[in-house]
Amino acid sequence: MAVKKTTGKTTKTVKKIDLTKYTDFIVEETTKLLNIDSPTGYTEEAAAWVKKEFEKLGFKATLTNKGGVIVDLTGKDKKNGLLLEAHTDTLGGMVATIKGNGRLQLTNLGGMNPNNAETENVRVVTKFDGVYEGTFQLNNASIHVNGDYDDTKRSWETCEVVLDEDVKSKEDTEKLGISVGDIVCFEPNVRVTKSGYIKSRFLDDKLSVGILLGLAKYIKDKKVTPKRALYAHITVYEEVGHGGCGSVPEGCTEAISVDMGCVGEGLTCTEKQVSICAKDSGGPYSFEIVKALTKAAVDSGADYAVDIYPHYGSDVEATLRSGNDLRHGLIGAGVYASHGYERSHRDGAENTLRLLVQYAL
């Protein structure tokens, strides 16, 4: 399929490669990963799954001491390596207090917001006594009883986990083995529509992990050797700001976060596009890299947008702040309703993969 693309004053006709097979794979892998609970601090199962999936594709993958996964995607120039970063940790909660009525008051993990978490099903992962189900509800959640229901500000103090167990006191809950510091996982509610939309909590950033798996499969199937050493780092503490600190393979000169692209008022990106971020709350990304990524999008026929994100930070900024001397950039499939019940589209995933194939290979 040939398309016309314009950058600056140049218009060119591009023949797009067919990536349907790899987009299908991305959606399948993303769906599997979304259904593995992995709030920040509780990522061991998800990281093990990610490691195994890269290994099944024939690539060497190792766990970092922190719990992330480093993948060697091969490549020629070992002194000019490119590191792609995505994260598999998500938002979630932690038991802060067991209340006198046996219900749980939470503290958030990452930017979980009680306003859009209300009425969600949860799993409470205890340290030693298994997993219990419950629901995150407003305190006194019955509308026919609570006259202040509409006016109550939702917060971690005004909401609670109602356990699906016969508990009526703090002592009843403690007998189950539930204690302060236990992890609370919110149901992702994954759904892929016939029209190609992908809806779920925690597309940020498990969709990008799926995209990097798609890139790995493309490298394997096409027997491509990247022109420069290529690595992936699947981090596990991005949502609290230090996921990308450390674990940069020797010889890397550039790092790119593959994270969600912002969709919302004042921005141009849609869920069907790949977003290239020029600046976020941490400052500008490398202008050289933004230009190169934009050119790669044009050359590959990827549908893209360049935007500035007002309230955003990325793994690659943590990588720079930890003292690494790297050029940096940020791309991602467009995601709407970030940190809530998020929505993207298979076209956004495909356009992100298309840009990466052009840029990294």
Q: What residues are labeled active site?
A: 238
Q: Are 272 and 351 in contact (CB under 8 A)?
A: yes
CA distance 191 to 194: 10
Single-letter amino acid, residue 75: G
| Whole-number CA gyration radius for the chain | 21
Contacts of 254 (CB under 8 A, 6+ apart): 80, 81, 82, 83, 289, 326, 327, 328, 329
Cβ pair 239, 92 in contact under 8 A: no
How far apart, in Å, do the first and last CA atoms of the chain sit? 21
Closest to 159 in 3D by CA, of 106, 102, 96, 95: 106
CA distance 159 to 115: 10
